[in-house]
C-alpha cells in the first residue's frame, strides 16, 4: 500500500488566493483526519470524517476553511481566501474505525501564504 497520499507537498500562494489541498487515504480506511501543525500551536485537529461524513469540524479555524470528502478515496481542504497566518504544514491521516487503531499520516503539505 502506498500509504496516505497528499498533494501538493509544497504550496506557495499570495494572500487572498484560494488554496486546495488534496488527500487520498489508505484503501479500506473509513476515518479521515485533517491536521494543521505550526510552531506556535503544535498539532491541531481541524476536522474528521467517518464514512465520508464530517463528524467534528470544531477545529476548523473560521469560515474561510472548508473540507469535503466526496468519496472514500478522496478528500480536499480548501482555504478561501488565504491569509499569511494560514502558513503551516497540513497533514491528512486515515484510520480504520473498528476498535482502536492508529492513524496513518501523509507526508504533509507545507503551505506558505505571502
Footprint of another protein on this chain (CB under 8 A)?
4, 31, 42-43, 45, 48, 56, 91, 93, 95, 97, 99-100, 102-108
The neighbouring-strand residues paired with 94 are: 32, 104
Least separation in angstroms between residue 97's CB and another protein is 6
Residue 93 or 113 having the CB closest to another protein: 93
Least separation in angstroms between residue 10's CB and another protein is 10
Least separation in angstroms between residue 95's CB and another protein is 7
Residue 41 or 85 having the CB closest to another protein: 41
Amino acid at each position: 500500500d502506498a500509504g496516505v497520499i497528499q498533494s501538493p507537498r509544497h504550496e506557495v500562494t499570495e494572500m487572498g488566493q484560494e488554496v486546495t489541498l488534496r488527500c487520498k487515504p489508505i484503501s479500506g480506511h473509513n476515518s479521515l483526519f485533517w491536521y494543521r501543525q505550526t510552531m506556535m500551536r503544535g498539532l491541531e485537529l481541524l476536522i474528521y470524517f467517518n464514512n465520508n461524513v464530517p463528524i467534528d469540524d470544531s477545529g476548523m479555524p473560521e469560515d474561510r476553511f472548508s473540507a469535503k470528502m466526496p468519496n472514500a478515496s478522496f478528500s480536499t481542504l480548501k482555504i478561501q481566501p488565504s491569509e499569511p497566518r494560514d502558513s503551516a504544514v497540513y497533514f491528512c491521516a486515515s484510520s480504520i474505525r473498528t476498535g482502536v487503531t492508529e492513524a496513518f499520516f501523509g507526508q504533509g503539505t507545507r503551505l506558505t501564504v505571502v
